[in-house]
Amino acid sequence: MRVHELAGCRVATPSGDVGGYVTESADGVLRMRADAALPGLHPGESIGVTVLDPVRGVCSYAGLVAAVEAREDGAAVDVVVVEDLARHQRRAAARAAYRCSCVATLEGGASPASLRVTVLDVSATGARFMTPEELHEGATLRLGLPVGEELVDLRLRVVRHEVSSTGTRYGATLVDPSERTRDALYRLVLRLQREQARQAAEHR
């Protein structure tokens, strides 16, 4: 797969940012599909593009519009990249709501104990969850997070907790995650963020 292909993106227009995705990136040209029309955008104009790449992180570019075409579902735009402004590795900061229930195994003690947890949100470095059981900071548990038709094996260490009206919420960080696990979580977060942004746009 080529760089950025199918990655989510944001195109900076005179009327505000428009979301979309990259269809192709080759020879210094970004070809993108925007989720909305791009009025006022014309060939030759300067433009900023931010790509949310699941592998490379958040990449920002400055470029010139090469072509723009209105479509029924938005617009197609080609941008000649003039400068790679920054490649921010924000994998750790990316987080999204993701609610699901699963059974976890609490490590330590004479024998591992099973407990039911409700995951609230995830990031590439950890998760927040609720459980009826009382856990102390430093407790380690393992669970299989359902992602599509697969289970992503997570080993988590509790680092904080907060008491709310609905119960205690725990924040946990990943323990010795593989690169495959980090990538799976980051791809999940990007997909969720894009879905949430699309839903928000539909309700404007």
pLDDT profile of the chain (204 residues), mean per 10: 81 88 89 91 90 82 91 92 68 76 86 88 90 91 90 94 85 89 82 72 59
101 and 195 part of one domain: yes
How far apart CA 81 and CA 122 sit, in angstroms, is 33
- Percent of the chain that is helix, strand, coil (3-state, to 5): 10, 60, 30
Helix (H) or strand (E) holding 19: strand 16-26
51 and 23 part of one domain: yes
Q: What is the pTM of this model?
A: 0.55
194 and 111 part of one domain: yes
Name which of 199, 203, 200, 188 is nearest 97 in CA terms.
Answer: 188
Q: Is residue 1 part of a domain?
A: no
Task: Name the domain boundary from 88, 123, 158.
Answer: 88
Name which of 165, 93, 160 is nearest 123 in CA terms.
Answer: 93
Which pLDDT does position 179 carry in this prediction? 82
44 and 62 part of one domain: yes
CATH of the domain at 134: 2.40.10.220
Which pLDDT does position 135 carry in this prediction? 92
Which pLDDT does position 1 carry in this prediction? 44
How far apart CA 20 and CA 68 sit, in angstroms, is 14
How far apart CA 134 and CA 182 sit, in angstroms, is 27
For residue 22, give its domain range.
8-88
